[in-house]
Each structure stands twice: as structure tokens, then as C-alpha cells.
Amino acid sequence: MLAAVAVAGLIASFHAIIFAYGRQIYSLSRAGYFPRALSVTHGVRKTPDVALLTGSAAGLLVMLAVWFILGAEKGAAVIGGTLLNMAVFGAMLSYVAQGVSFILLRRKFPDLERPYKSRFGLTGAGLTVVISLVTIFYQLKDPIYRTGVIGVAIWFAVGVAYFALFGRKKLVLSPEEAFAISGGKAAYETH
């Protein structure tokens, strides 16, 4: 029973990841962090098909490279362990960043209009950060997980280097970024 629930959760996670990475690649491309060609949308459906296909191709190429370099048996173990752990590490970092952002926004801009208000408030955000950090701590004890973390760190470093060299010169601020840079004044000026 537990295995059936876990498999259903994994399937749901992978579908969510596919849609999320497509949207993230598209958004980051529009903002200048990734090449502009990745923000092209489908002519009729207006979906970010170039971003979805590029993300899928990149993931497939990484898995095939691992499979052929390490061989079928070891490659499958690395793909199943390391790549899945990289996704978990990225998710945990995302949860930490979201929780900290929520806390900072609530403290710096308590009167800001919000379309959605969390039922759990600062306590929920604080618990999210703590649980995520504890999860990262315990997962770092696993050597396969550490390999995934190193992979994520390398990927982040490549992204930061690209942005520092090229992307920052093509940056188009989103409303959220304009709000952050203006110290919260951009949102109030539009009302």
C-alpha cells in the first residue's frame, strides 16, 4: 500500500516538475537569464513549447550520458539515486528560499495587499524552513546524495557565471523584481 502511494506521489511529482521546468525556463529566458530563443511560444496554443522541449532534451541527454559512460547497471543506480536527489535538494533549497522570503515580506511590508493569505503565517513559514534544513542535513549524510548536491552546485555555478557574463546585460525586470529593487515603492505607485 505504501509503495503504491509512493509511486503515485513520484508520478505526480514528475509531471509537476515537467510543467514547472518548462515555465521556469520560459520565464528565465524572458527575463534575460537564459537565451531569448527559449521564450518562444507555440503559434496557436501559446504554450512555452521550446522551453519544454529544450528542458526535456537536456534531461534526456544527461541521463543518456550517465547511462553510456557508467554502463547500464551503475548508470541506472546513479540516475535513480543522484538525479532524484538533485531534484530533492533543489526543492528543499526552494522551500527554504520561499519560507525566508515570506518571513521577510511579512516583516518589511506588513500592510502590503496580498491576493492570498497563508493560514499558517510566520509560524508555517518558519516550520517550512526548519523542516527543509533538517531534511538537507540528514540527506547530506548519504554519499549518493552528496554527489547530487555537488552536481546541483556545479549547475548553479554555471548559471551564475552565465548570468554574470551575459544575462545581466539583457535583463528585463519582472514586476516582482522591480518591486524588490524599488524597495516596495513600485507596487504602491501603481495604485
Cα–Cα distance, 76 to 147 (Å, whole number): 15
Report pLDDT for 190: 44
Domain layout of the chain by residue ranges: 1-70, 73-191
13, 14, 18, 109 from 49: Cα distances, Å: 20, 17, 12, 37
Q: What is the pLDDT along the chain (191 residues), one digit of tens a residue?
A: 877 776 776 676 667 777 788 888 988 888 777 888 898 888 888 888 899 999 989 988 988 998 899 898 888 887 777 767 777 777 888 899 999 999 999 999 888 888 888 889 999 999 999 999 998 888 888 877 777 778 778 888 998 898 888 877 776 666 666 777 777 775 544 44
Report pLDDT for 187: 53
Cα–Cα distance, 53 to 144 (Å, whole number): 28
Number of H helices, E strands in the chain: 8, 0
Record the pTM.
0.58
